[in-house]
Amino acid sequence: MRSLQREPALLLALLAVTALVLLFVVYPQLQVVLTPGPGGYVQFLEEGTWVGPLRNSIQLTLLSTTTAVVLGFVYAYAMVYSNMRWKPFFRLVGILPLLSPPFVVAAAYTLLFGARGVITYGVFGQSPNIYGLNGVWGVQTIAFFPFAYQLIADALSRSDPRMEQAAHNLGAGSWRVFRTVTLPLSRPGLGAAILTTAIYILEDFGNPQLIGGTFYVLPTQAYSLISSFGEYTSAAALSTILLLLALGLYLAKVRLDGGRSFVTISGRASSMPRPPVSAGVSRACFVACLALAGIILLVYGSLVVSALTLRFPNNLQFTTEHFQYVLSGTNGDALRNTLVFSSVAAAVSAVFALFAGWLVQRGHWKGRQALDLLLILPAAIPGIFFGLGYLLAFNQRWLDFVDRGWLIIIAFIFWNIPVGYQAAVAGLRQIDRSIDEAATSLGASSLRGFRDVVLPMLGGSLRVGFVTTFVRAVTTLSLVIFLFTPPTTVATIRIYQLVGDLNWGAATAYTVSDIGMAIIALLIFAVLARGRIALGAARA
Question: Which positions touch another protein (CB under 8 A)?
Answer: 47-49, 52, 107, 110-111, 114-116, 129, 131, 209-210, 212-214, 216, 220-221, 224-232, 311, 313-315, 337, 340, 388, 391-392, 395-397, 400, 403, 405, 481-482, 484-488, 493, 496-504
Q: Name the minimum Å distance from CB 325 to another protein.
A: 11
Q: Name the minimum Å distance from CB 399 to another protein.
A: 8
Identify the bridge partners of residue 530 per DSSP, sorted by sequence position. 533
HSE (side-chain half, CA atoms, 13 Å) at 529: 18
Q: Name the minimum Å distance from CB 134 to another protein.
A: 13
Instruction: Give the number of other Cβ atoms within 10 Å of residue 397's Cβ.
Output: 6
Q: Name the minimum Å distance from CB 377 to another protein.
A: 21
**Choice between 186 and 234, CB closer to another protein:** 234
**Choice between 190 and 479, CB closer to another protein:** 479
Q: Name the minimum Å distance from CB 210 to another protein.
A: 5
| Helices vs. strands in the chain: H and E counts, helices first | 27, 2
**Choice between 93 and 235, CB closer to another protein:** 235
Identify the bridge partners of residue 533 per DSSP, sorted by sequence position. 530
Phi and psi at residue 115, to the nearest 5°: -60, -35
Q: Name the minimum Å distance from CB 110 to another protein.
A: 8
How far is 7 from 445, CA to CA, in rounded Å? Answer: 8
**Choice between 473 and 537, CB closer to another protein:** 473
**Choice between 79 and 480, CB closer to another protein:** 480
445 burial via Cβ count (<10 Å: 0-12, 13-18, 19+): middle
Helix/strand/coil for 451: helix
Which has the closest alpha carbon to 198: 419, 29, 389? 419
Q: Name the minimum Å distance from CB 54 to another protein.
A: 15
Q: What are the residues whose beta carbons fall under 8 Å from the beta carbon of 301, sequence distance 6 or more? A: none
**Choice between 405 and 427, CB closer to another protein:** 405
DSSP state letter for 490 = -
> Between the CA of residue 172 and those of 177, 181, 184, 283, what are the distances in Å?
6, 10, 15, 21
Q: Name the minimum Å distance from CB 486 to another protein.
A: 5
**Choice between 110 and 196, CB closer to another protein:** 110
Q: What are the residues whose beta carbons fall under 8 Å from the beta carbon of 38, sequence distance 6 or more? A: none
Is 219 in contact with 201 (CB distance < 8 Å)?
no
**Choice between 13 and 344, CB closer to another protein:** 344
Is 492 in contact with 339 (CB distance < 8 Å)?
no
Q: Name the minimum Å distance from CB 223 to another protein.
A: 8
Spell out the long-range contacts of 111-120 with Cβ–Cβ below 8 A and sequence spacing 24 or more. 111/302, 111/306, 111/312, 111/313, 112/298, 112/299, 112/302, 118/302, 118/313, 119/298
Helix/strand/coil for 364: coil
Q: Name the minimum Å distance from CB 188 to another protein.
A: 38
**Choice between 180 and 315, CB closer to another protein:** 315
Sign of CA dihedral 360, 366, 369, 373: negative
Q: Name the minimum Å distance from CB 505 to another protein.
A: 10
**Choice between 40 and 52, CB closer to another protein:** 52
Q: Name the minimum Å distance from CB 391 to another protein.
A: 5
Q: SS3 letters for 300-360?
A: HHHHHHHHCEEECCCEEEECCHHHHHHHCCCCCHHHHHHHHHHHHHHHHHHHHHHHHHHHH
**Choice between 47 and 452, CB closer to another protein:** 47
CA angle 475, 137, 389 (to 5 degrees): 40
**Choice between 100 and 186, CB closer to another protein:** 100
How far is 31 from 233, CA to CA, in rounded Å? Answer: 11
Q: SS3 letters for 239-279?
A: HHHHHHHHHHHHHHHHHHHCCCCCCCECCCCCCCCCCCCCH
How far is 366 from 346, CA to CA, in rounded Å? Answer: 30
Q: Name the minimum Å distance from CB 97 to another protein.
A: 20
**Choice between 210 and 518, CB closer to another protein:** 210
